[in-house]
Amino acid sequence: MAVEGGAKCIKYLLFFFNFIFWLCGLALIVVGVLAKVSINTTAFLKGYSGSPLVLIVVGVIIFFIAFFGCCGAWKENQCMISMFAVILSLIIIIEIGAAIAGYVLRGNLTDLLNKGFDVMIAGYNETENRDSLDTIQQQFKCCGRNSSSDWMNSKFLAPSSVPDSCCKNVTKDCGKGALQETSKIYTDGCQPILDKFLKQNILWIAVAALVIAFVQITGIVLSCILMRAIRSGYEVM
């Protein structure tokens, strides 16, 4: 009876786990979307948008297979539980790949931002660069790469001018001749602000991935225990 009772407990634990697993899938989708939005704020980071996309896809898969795991546990179907454990294992492998890509991005982020800002400032006349940089300067209340003086020698602006997106109150031509008017424009550079913002986002993604991976490993362990009990012929109802 003790073994049967233990197996029955595992059955209900696995059922409860799948509810938590469903919530984890939802969390992955949300985190992936937020990360993708953060990365897509700049044109030069769009090449790294694959990692958030992986998180979103994995989240959607998790969202749906949680129901599959619930059915397997409730019906005590060894085949369904086995498939559930295999799919979970594959998902963990995919998440590890996404985590490695995120870690590589975090390590290269400062150099990537420096080069990206130099390209966008030098090519400010191009629509994509101008739109990306204007969005960053307005959203993060900053101006230039290191400071507003980065615009001093820009050949695309009038002398002593900054883009209108550097203004605290954006209006047409508000940045014209405003380089020295520190009360009118933002003077802090965008690179340090964006670097801190993106690294914090990547850190939260890593923490979320670790928590979800722990939950997934727990689900695999519970699945294996329940499969063993079913295979041994114990009554778990």
What pLDDT, in 10s, does the model give residues 86-108?
A: 888 888 887 777 777 777 777 77
pLDDT at residue 3 in the model: 39
- Is 28 within a domain? yes
User: Per-residue confidence at 2, pLDDT binned at 50, 70, 90?
Assistant: very low
Average pLDDT over residues 170-183: 92
On whether residue 159 sits in a domain, the answer given is no
Measured CA to CA in angstroms, residue 42 lies from 123, 134, 179 at distances of 14, 10, 24
The domain containing residue 83 runs over which residues? 2-110+196-231
Total domains, the chain = 1
Q: Mean pLDDT across the chain, nearest whole number?
A: 80
Q: What is the pLDDT of residues 112-138, one digit of tens each?
A: 888 889 889 999 999 888 988 998 999
Within-domain flag for 68: yes
- 207, part of any domain: yes
Quote the pTM value: 0.65
